[in-house]
Structure 1
Amino acid sequence: MGYTMLGLQLCLALVVLLFAAAFAQSQHGLKIQLSAADGLLNGSTTGRILVLFAPAGVDPLDDIDVATTPYYFYGQDVYDFDTGDTITLSGGSDKRTGYGVWGYPNASLDDLPAGEYSVQAFLNQYENATRSDGSQVSLRFPCGDGQRSVAGPGSLVTLATNVTVSGGAQTIDLTFEAVVPEDPFEGTEIGGCSQGNYPDNELLKHVKIRSEVLSKFWNRNMYVGANILLPSGYDANDTGKRYPVIYSQDHWVGGDPAFSGYYDADLIAEWASGIIPSTDGGADRETPKLILVTFRHEAPYYDDSYTVNTANLGPYGDAINDELISTIDKMFNTIAKPYARIQEGGSTGGWESIANVIFRPDLFGACFSSYPDSLDFHRHQDIPLYDAKNAYTRPNGSKIYSVRGDVNGVLTNLVQVEQENKWELTFGTSSRSGNQWDVWNAVFGAQGLNGYPLEPWDKVTGEIYPEAVEYWKPMDLSNYITTNWNTSKNLGEVLKDRIHVSVGTWDDYFLNEGVSEFQKRVEEKGGPDWANFTYLEGKGHGGLYQGREIWDYLFFLESWVKDHAPDGKTPLHDAVTTSAARGNLWEEVIARGGHQAALVRQAPPKLQSKPGWQGRQVIEGSVGRWDPGVQLEAQWIVDCEAYGTVFPVKQGQVVTLKPERRWGDNVKQVQLAVIGRKRGYKEETRKSGVVRGKL
């Protein structure tokens, strides 16, 4: 006879009790109590509290960099915080079940050194969003600020207060008294949140659109924009005279007078005049006849979206390449052909520029990519991601570094990968810090069962999860090219001589290593002339492609367009700009890495009865399938009672319950309960179905 429904409920309740564990907060040391002033909140809010300690008399926001001392930062997630509530921060991370308070450089508040400080607290408010695939997440949607890690528009803020930290038991009371306003903005706004449009002038224009694909995905209005610098002599009414477009990828850029990091006010003034004055006594030159475009696409996880379709950020590639660029083509006299569309940029923009040509060879002609983020994850910065077991430490115990620099003429390692990751963790759990390592998790990886990026390693220990890393491979650009070399995409032919990469051999972030790995793998397929690589000996991170000066660089890009025009020396033929070569298709991205894919990855424990000793049965089963990094414990339940002790298990492990003589000939009813714990996840208990057996 099987269990009744009441019996199943009782058994489940028993399992919950068996796994319950109490982890008391620190009852000693420093505590911080936070409340909100009356009238500040219109209702409850969810977000991330950040408490910053700076030397007494110093603005805590003056320096929040990872390498900063003697500044201390502490963060804690908060849920449904409302007027009248008090939040207490104390102690530090609970390494078993979650983060609790997490600080940098000391994880626990108990370890804050005694001394005189200026302290200030912020609450970065999150918005609850339900994505079109059913996933529910809480994120900070930026507001024209480029996704600040702290003190962005809409954040609650306390006054900066001087305090003496005693080093013993102590409580500091702080009150949120104001909301950080939106950044000052002048211009014609659509949709709110000060992303533009900024004031135009004769040649500098601003475009902002509501993205249909992003708005559908996020179930809220989402916007993308662009700054457009038109060439001298441009006449909107002369539609017969059309211009190539240079798409410069960069981080968040504002409006007037900013255009991008490359095009400063002096250059724009010369651009507007149409004349480049000679600096060596020679003849003046006319400025190149190009349209220059930078994008405004701040996103929920970073100051930009990486301009590709991703399972965590949404279809930003389609929003920019299909919606925004087509709008620009309709508004301005562009040459809307691949040969006349060039992608260029450095660092984040370097990766974006090369990825867009690789994924959209039907849209863009070529990329000129400088010191790009990791092109091949055999070296993710300096981490051998596919082979290493830990992202922070090498097998010999030495630390893996993230930043190096020239100190008094000597190349010196400065900041460790571990330091940066733990610093980011202070600003946001579940890859929500708004910083570099976290956005890589969001862009390159799939979504986890918790709704946030499936992180490739444990942020505290650095343990790498190979299964999670597997989901990065479609964004490993050398892997993508080589696996599609001779497929229907035919990338070996389509992309030949269209990729140009430049990097310093002493890149500050070890990005030359990813370039070298990329070069090695594509040249194994296509030979040394398949793509163009330039290594600048002894150079670090920064500058334009091949170290060129800005005017030389723009003329260089203009000459590439002329050479590859239909009447040029080496025309870009239709056969290599076919839509059949298009990649990073949204429907494939979300099917592989979205919410439904996360659900499909999961499975409950499963038991079966097998013949055993003298006519008895052996109960054998799996612990189920869980996301990478979930720590598992199991408990046998026999006739609705715990049998034996709780025992640790691992993913993929087969567990066995062997019969005992003392049970005689009685038929037993057996279940396996498995509890999963992972930082950033809700603790979860899964149970198998009931198996009956003579044990």
Structure 2
Amino acid sequence: MCTRLGLHAPVYSTPVPAMLGHLTRCEINVLLSLRIVYEVPRRLWMRLSTLVIGFSCVLGLSLQTLQAEVTEIMIALPDADASQTGRLFVVFTKDTRREPRLSISDSPAPRDASPFFAVDVENWDGSTIEFQPDAGFPIQSVMELGSGTWQVQALLDVNQVLSDLDSPGNYYSTPQSIEVGSGSQELSFNLSERVPEEMLPEDTDLLKFVRIRSDLLSEFYDQDMYLRASVLLPPAYEQGSGDSYPVLFHVAGLNGRYTRSQRLMNDSEFMEYWLDDSTPPAVIVFLDGESPYGDSYQMNSAVSGPYTDANFTELFPYLAEQFPIDDIPTSRFVTGCSTGGWVSMALQILYPDYFNGAYSLSPDSPSFRAFQLVNLYDDDNAFVSASGMQRPSARSTNGDPRFSIADEVRLEAVMGRGGSYVNSGAQWGAWNAVYGQPDENGDPIPVWNQATGEINPAVANSWRPWDLEIYVKENWSRMGSDLTGKLQFWMGDMDNYYLTNGLRFLEESLNLMEAPAANAQFNWLPYHGHCGFGTQVHYIDVLNDMAVRAAAR
């Protein structure tokens, strides 16, 4: 049985090392090479891959060489106002519902992922560069694409201050449709489109949008940096009345933007509650998660900058001046789910007298004894358990694993500048940026090797100040009186990202606290997954409890 290789996947009946023994050195070099060539006439052209190879494979122990085929991808940057530096992507997908460039990080599960390839470009001026073996996910070569109709698109990420690939200023081509399996393919892309500059959404009577320059972050990054938020006002508020209300700071899940408040306005259950005359009035502030390294986690990080200080000394005072916020500790509360669950928990623990309560839903793990399924202190490898099993990173609520930590890190490595997962702006990259220390270039020092999963014990130990379980135990005598009764948690017993164990550790430790007792409330929801608690828990229960606490001051 033979498979002709145009752009679709080779089928090897012989293991690769043994197979290479049947090939000449020239054939091996052609098989392993994937080159990108820049040529510069009036426009910049990139030859993403020039492949001259053909194979047939026969069931058994032989591999025979057939006639060569040529596949090339040309990319032009016709309207650049200067030489460009960034990361260049070519994305393939069979999903026709949206542009391929928007599907890059949809799923780390290899069978569900949209294949993409990436490479750094610097001062795009005609130099020749070469793809590295880790420059594609979930496949390493376009020759491994399955047959059929694919949508394909090129993207150049040049935005240095926002990690989202759909950030202002990034270049992209119009999508094309190709048929794989019908012979040689020659593709050409013009990066003729550009993501428009940021514009704040239009204010409504209840919902306002804010963007201010941060002096602290601008100094840290040596360029203009901005903080963003949206503010939901109570319907009873009348401008000029002098009234002020308790404030709930809402922190999004990973990389969630301040504009998510617009979706809440379409939630009929929430709006019915919010507009009801009997609802206790409050202000909700929706914080922005974006930073150059992905989600900032609203923390003061050695890598991603002083976001907590910027919020406390710049954004929050500005909001209190502009909106009817009762800006005193007993009227400040914080909530969120997933990333937002960890941030709300961390802000309350690290600054116990600044907030009067944290409502933490499905938080990232507060204990590095259970960094998902990895014990950073005792395990040798993040990808493989002591029993030799691949560690999953996600599961369905019935327990079926969806993809592994290794899969997720591989995806992030292709996304990240320099081919490094710590620069991906995605989950594992963001954790390294928040908890880690900078290398000589200012990027996070990886806590484990992205190819092997081997944990660096020195780096893991340097993360200890961010281990909230340890922090609480070591500092309870100092902060316990300010923290008691202020922590509430919700967690599904079948959290999809294995976050249950870490919160169990924190619960055990808090239950041991004395003088005073922690009085933390833990709500464990059987058969619930990640953040799947509904509007009632996420907003209505939180706002009602917050009103009681604020009134008790």
Shorter-normalised TM range: 0.7 to 0.9
540-549 or 552-561, larger mean C-alpha shift = 540-549
Report what 1:249 is aligned to. 251
- Alignment CA distance shift 1:253-1:414 (3 Å): closer
Task: Please report how far the alpha carbon of residue 449 of structure 1 lies from its aligned counterpart in structure 2 after TM superposition.
Answer: 2.6
Contact 2:359 2:542 in 1 (8 A): no
Q: Equivalent of 2:341, from 345, 350, 353?
A: 350
The percentage of counterpart residues that share the same residue type is 30
Checking the alignment, whether the CA contact within 8 Å between 1:30 and 1:171 is kept in structure 2 is no
CA distance in 1, matches of 2:89, 2:78: 21
**Structure 1 pair 69/503, CA: closer, same or farther in 2 (3 Å)?**
closer
Q: 8 Å contact 1:447–1:454 — kept in the other structure? A: yes
> For residue 509 of structure 1, what is the aligned residue in structure 2?
497
Pick the aligned partner of 1:194 from 193, 198, 203: 198
1:553-590 Cα distance to aligned partner (Å, 9 max, x none)? 42222112223x1xxxxxxxxxxxxxxxxxxxxxxxxx
Distance, in Å, in 2 between the alignment partners of 1:235 and 1:537 is 43
Give the superposition deviation at 1:108.
Answer: 4.7
Q: In structure 1, how many angstroms separate the alpha carbons of the residues matched to 2:472 and 2:483?
A: 9
SS in structure 1 of the partner of residue 403 of structure 2:
strand
Secondary structure of the corresponding residue to residue 396 of structure 2: strand
User: Could you say what secondary structure the match of 2:495 adopts?
Assistant: coil
- Distance in 2 (CA, whole Å) between partners of 1:504 and 1:247 is 23
Q: Which amino acid aligns with 1:220?
A: Q
Q: Is the 8 A contact 2:437 2:445 kept in 1?
A: yes
CA contact (8 A) 1:367 1:500 kept: yes
Residue among 531, 541, 550 paired with 1:542 = 531
Q: 1:86 to 1:172 in 2, by over 3 A?
A: farther
CA RMSD for the aligned pairs? 3.1
Match of 1:560 in 2: 549
Tell me the amino acid that sits aligned with residue 72 of structure 1.
P
Give, in whole Å, the separation in 1 of the partners of 2:195 and 2:269.
32
Larger Rg over CA atoms: 1
Question: Residues 148-167 of structure 1: matches in 2 within 5 Å?
Answer: 148=164, 150-163=165-178
- Quote the residue 1:421 is aligned against: 409
- Cα pair 1:116 1:162 within 8 Å, conserved: yes
Q: How many residues align?
A: 482
Q: Which runs of 5+ in 1 are unaligned?
A: 1-23, 94-100, 127-139, 183-192, 276-285, 566-695
- In structure 1, the partner of 2:357 is 366
| Structure 2 unaligned residues grouped into runs of 5+ | 1-26, 37-46, 49-73
- Which structure has greater helix proportion? 2
Match in the other structure for 1:621: none
Q: Secondary structure at the match of 1:209?
A: strand
The change in CA–CA distance for 1:365 and 1:273 in structure 2 (over 3 A counts) is closer
Tell me the SS of whatever aligns to 1:411.
coil
Say whether the 8 Å CA contact 2:269–2:535 is kept in structure 1: no
Which one-letter code corresponds to 1:155 in the other structure? N
Instruction: Provide Cα deviations, 1:415-465, integer angstroms capped at 9, x if missing partner.
Output: 111111101111113322221111011111111233211110011111110
Equivalent-residue separation in structure 2 for 1:412 and 1:361 (angstroms): 39
1:412 paired with 2:403, answer: no
- How far is the alpha carbon of 1:267 from its aligned partner? 5.4
| Corresponding position of 1:532 | 521
Name the counterpart of 1:295.
287
Q: Is the 8 A contact 1:262 1:550 kept in 2?
A: no
Out of 183, 188, 192, which is 1:174 matched to? 188
SS in 1 for 2:423: coil
1:43 matched to which residue of 2? 82
Deviation at 1:299, TM superposition (A): 0.9
State the match for 2:212 in structure 1.
Answer: 209
CA positional deviation for 1:293: 1.1
Per the TM alignment, residue 343 of structure 1 is displaced from its structure 2 partner at its CA by: 0.8
| Alpha-carbon spacing, 1:546–1:528, altered in 2? closer, same or farther (3 Å) | farther
Matching residue within 71, 74, 80 for 2:117: 74
Deviations, residues 388-423 of structure 1 (Å, cap 9, x unaligned)? 1111101111111111113xxx32111111111101
Q: State the match for 1:460 in structure 2.
A: 451
CA distance in 2, matches of 1:317, 1:386: 27
Letter matched to residue 192 of structure 2 = A
1:104 aligns with 2:137: yes
CA shift, 1:201, in A, is 2.6
* Equivalent position amino acid for 1:505 in 2: D
Q: How does the TM-score come out when normalised to structure 1?
A: 0.64
Q: CA distance change for structure 1 residues 292 and 160 in 2, over 3 Å: closer, same or farther?
A: closer
Distance 1:524 1:272, change over 3 A: closer
- 1:497 and 1:272 map into 2 onto residues whose CA distance is 26
The C-alpha deviation readout for 1:620-667, integer Å capped at 9, x for no partner, is xxxxxxxxxxxxxxxxxxxxxxxxxxxxxxxxxxxxxxxxxxxxxxxx
Distance 1:332 1:546, change over 3 A: closer
Map residues 1-12 of structure 1 onto 2, 5 A cutoff.
none
- Structure 1's 524 and 434: CA in aligned 2 closer, same or farther, altered over 3 A? same
Amino acid in structure 2 at the alignment position of 1:44: S
After TM superposition, list the pairs within 5 Å mapping 1:325-404 onto structure 2.
325-404=316-395
The separation in 2 between residues aligned to 1:317 and 1:411, in whole angstroms, is 36
The aligned residue for residue 124 of structure 1 is 157
> Quick one: distance in 2 between partners of 1:552 and 1:519?
21
Q: Does structure 2 conserve the Cα–Cα contact (< 8 Å) formed by 1:370 and 1:545?
A: no
Instruction: Judge conservation of contact 1:502–1:545 (CA < 8 Å) in 2.
Output: no
- Paired AA for residue 421 in structure 1: V
Please list the CA deviations of residues 495-521 of structure 1 after superposition, one character each: whole Å capped at 9, or x if unmatched: 122111111111111111110112223
Amino acid at match of 1:346: C
Residue 253 of structure 1: how far off its partner (Å):
5.7
Q: Secondary structure at the match of 2:389?
A: coil
CA contact (8 A) 1:152 1:180 kept: no
Question: How far apart in 2 are the matches of 1:261 and 1:161?
Answer: 31
Task: Say which of 308, 312, 329 aligns to 1:321.
Answer: 312
SS in 2 for 1:27: helix
Code of the residue aligned with 2:287 in structure 1: it is F
Q: How far apart, CA to CA, are the structure 1 residues paired with 2:185 and 2:34?
A: 6
Q: 1:259 aligns with which of 256, 261, 278?
A: 261
Scaled by the length of structure 2, the TM-score of the pair is 0.79
How far the C-alpha of 1:112 sits from its partner, in A, is 4.6
Sort the Cα spacing of 1:27 and 1:388 in 2 relative to 1 into closer, same or farther, 3 A.
same
C-alpha separation in 2, matches of 1:459 and 1:166: 33
In 1, are the aligned partners of 2:257 and 2:287 still within 8 Å (CA)?
no
Contact 2:365 2:499 in 1 (8 A): yes
